[in-house]
Amino acid sequence: MGYGIIEVKKPKLSLLQFGVIQLSKYDSHELRLKKIFERVTGLIDEYHPDEVALESPFFGKNVQSMLKLGRAQGIAMAAALSREVAIVEYAPRKIKQSVTGNGNASKEQVAKMLMMLFGIKELPKLLDATDALAVAVCHHFQNGDLTGGKTKSWESFLKENPGRLR
């Protein structure tokens, strides 16, 4: 399970941390859920986010996998709620569309876009980390304002912020 934490100080978007909660070493599903809860509450306690954005459940063919994923998402929600942090969910397609401009983008395409956005030098081994970071970026793009409220169009934004163009 991945996580990504960003900070927004207009007009700057900064990467604080992203990674993967390693669960494969735990034998039981219950213990994995406990570790998810502990890690998510730990991240919330460390970074004090205003909101937690999650990828909403998607439909797959393997019912057991969907059930396990739903439980993990529920535990992450419970962790946020236990710290009184607001929760927002986004569909996988919406996340990809927001980050890459293509709702059918591959995990690798999403990762590459995030690497450019944040200046990440090396593609992470586990793309769950960049997937989670994409959820945070999507949330910012959906609710944030890259222009800082100062401009009316991308053209005027780029003229006023030439350093943002790479």
Domain ranges of the chain: 2-164
**CB within 8 Å of 142: residues ≥ 6 apart:** 90, 94, 98
**In the prediction, which pLDDT does 74 show?**
94
Q: What is the pLDDT along the chain (166 residues), one digit of tens a residue?
A: 999 999 998 878 999 999 999 999 999 999 999 999 999 999 999 999 999 999 987 767 788 888 888 899 999 999 999 999 999 999 999 999 999 999 999 999 999 999 999 999 998 888 999 999 999 999 999 875 444 444 455 565 566 666 655 5
Options 27, 38, 46, 55, the catalytic residue:
55
Q: Which architecture, in CATH terms, is 2-164? A: 2-Layer Sandwich (3.30)
**In the prediction, which pLDDT does 78 show?**
96
Rounded to whole angstroms, the Cα distance separating 23 from 32 reads 6
**CB within 8 Å of 78: residues ≥ 6 apart:** 37
Give, as one character, the DSSP assignment of residue 75. Answer: H
Is residue 160 part of an annotated ligand binding site?
no
Q: Is 122 a catalytic residue?
A: no
Is residue 45 part of an annotated ligand binding site?
no
Rounded to whole angstroms, the Cα distance separating 148 from 157 reads 9
The per-residue DSSP string of 82-107 comes to HTT-EEEEE-HHHHHHHHHS-TT--H
Q: Is 7 a catalytic residue?
A: no
Options 7, 27, 108, 128, the catalytic residue:
128
**In the prediction, which pLDDT does 144 show?**
57
Rounded to whole angstroms, the Cα distance separating 76 from 33 reads 9
**In the prediction, which pLDDT does 164 show?**
58
